[in-house]
Chains A and B, each alone.
Chain A
Amino acid sequence: MAEPVSASAPLAFAGNRFGGGSALARTLATPGGRIGARFGLVAILLLTWQFAPAGRATQFWLSSPSLIAGTLWQWIADGTLWVHLGATLQVMSEGYVAGCAAGISIGILLGLFPRVHRVLSPFLTGFYALPKIALAPLFIILLGVGDASKIALVAITVFFLVLTNTIDGVRDVDRDIIQSLTLMGATRMEVIRKVLLWAALPWIFMGMRIAVRYAFTNTLLAELIGANRGLGFLIEYHSGNFDITGAYAAIVVLVLCSVLMTELLTRLETRVSRWRH
Chain B
Amino acid sequence: MDRMTRAAAQAQRSAPAETKIRLVGAAKTFRVRGSELEALRPVDLEVGREEFVALVGPSGCGKSTILNLVAGLMAPSAGRVLYDGQEVTGPNRRVGYLTQKDTLLPWRATADNIRIALELKCRATPRAEASERVAEMMDLVGLKGFEHHYPAELSGGMRKRAALARTLIYEPETLLMDEPFGALDAQLKLLMLDQLQRLTQHRRMTVIFVTHDLGEAITLADRIVVISARPGRIRAIHDVRLERPRDVFKVRFTEGFARQHERLWDELKDDIAKGTDV
**Does A198 lie within 8 Å of B107, measured CB to CB?**
yes
B105 on interface, CB distance cutoff 8 Å? yes
* A274 and B101 alpha carbons, distance in the complex (Å): 23
Interface residue from B92, B121, B153 paired with A190 (Cβ < 8 Å): B121
Please classify how large the interface on chain A is, using the bins under 10, 10 to 19, 20 to 34, 35 or more.
Answer: 20 to 34
A168-187 CB mask vs B (1 if < 8 Å, else 0) is 00000010110111111111
* A180 and B120 alpha carbons, distance in the complex (Å): 13
**Does B71 lie within 8 Å of A177, measured CB to CB?**
no
**Does B116 lie within 8 Å of A194, measured CB to CB?**
yes
26 example contacts (A-B, Cβ-Cβ < 8 A) are as follows: A174-B103, A176-B99, A176-B101, A179-B73, A180-B103, A181-B120, A183-B71, A183-B73, A183-B93, A183-B96, A183-B97, A184-B117, A184-B170, A185-B120, A186-B120, A187-B122, A190-B120, A190-B121, A195-B105, A198-B105, A198-B107, A275-B107, A275-B108, A275-B151, A276-B152, A277-B152
* A180 and B98 alpha carbons, distance in the complex (Å): 8
**Does A179 lie within 8 Å of B91, measured CB to CB?**
yes
* A185 and B150 alpha carbons, distance in the complex (Å): 24
A154 on interface, CB distance cutoff 8 Å? no
**Does A180 lie within 8 Å of B153, measured CB to CB?**
no
Please classify how large the interface on chain B is, using the bins under 10, 10 to 19, 20 to 34, 35 or more.
Answer: 20 to 34
B123 on interface, CB distance cutoff 8 Å? yes
B47 to chain A minimum Cβ distance, whole angstroms, is 17
* A52 and B274 alpha carbons, distance in the complex (Å): 79
**Does B116 lie within 8 Å of A275, measured CB to CB?**
no
Interface residue from A177, A181, A185, A275 paired with B152 (Cβ < 8 Å): A275
Residue of A nearest to B109 (CB): A275
* A112 and B92 alpha carbons, distance in the complex (Å): 22
Interface of chain A residues 223 through 277 with chain B (CB within 8 A): 274-277
Residue of B nearest to A197 (CB): B107
* A198 and B120 alpha carbons, distance in the complex (Å): 16
**Does A180 lie within 8 Å of B107, measured CB to CB?**
no
Chain B residues closer than 8 Å to A274, beta-carbon distance: 150
Known: A181-B116, A183-B95, A275-B106. 4 other contacts (CB 8 A): A176-B99, A181-B120, A185-B123, A194-B116
Q: Which of A's residues lie within 8 Å of B, judged by CB? A: 174, 176-177, 179-187, 190, 194-195, 198-199, 201, 274-277
Residue of B nearest to A277 (CB): B152
Q: Which 3 A-B pairs have the closest CB atoms?
A: A185-B122, A180-B103, A277-B152
* A274 and B97 alpha carbons, distance in the complex (Å): 28
Residue of B nearest to A190 (CB): B120
Residue of B nearest to A177 (CB): B103
* A199 and B103 alpha carbons, distance in the complex (Å): 13
A186 to chain B minimum Cβ distance, whole angstroms, is 5
A271 to chain B minimum Cβ distance, whole angstroms, is 13
A182 to chain B minimum Cβ distance, whole angstroms, is 5
A240 to chain B minimum Cβ distance, whole angstroms, is 51
* A176 and B64 alpha carbons, distance in the complex (Å): 14
* A275 and B71 alpha carbons, distance in the complex (Å): 30
Chain B residues closer than 8 Å to A275, beta-carbon distance: 106-109, 150-152
Chain A residues closer than 8 Å to B107, beta-carbon distance: 198-199, 201, 275
Chain A residues closer than 8 Å to B106, beta-carbon distance: 275-276
**Does B120 lie within 8 Å of A277, measured CB to CB?**
no
Chain A residues closer than 8 Å to B153, beta-carbon distance: 277
Chain B residues closer than 8 Å to A180, beta-carbon distance: 97, 99, 103
**Does B123 lie within 8 Å of A177, measured CB to CB?**
no
Chain A residues closer than 8 Å to B121, beta-carbon distance: 187, 190
Name the residue among B93, B105, B150, B153 with the largest chain A CB count within 10 angstroms: B105
Interface of chain B residues 239 through 275 with chain A (CB within 8 A): none
* A199 and B104 alpha carbons, distance in the complex (Å): 12
* A275 and B104 alpha carbons, distance in the complex (Å): 12
Name the residue among A174, A176, A185, A195 with the largest chain B CB count within 10 angstroms: A185
**Does A177 lie within 8 Å of B105, measured CB to CB?**
yes
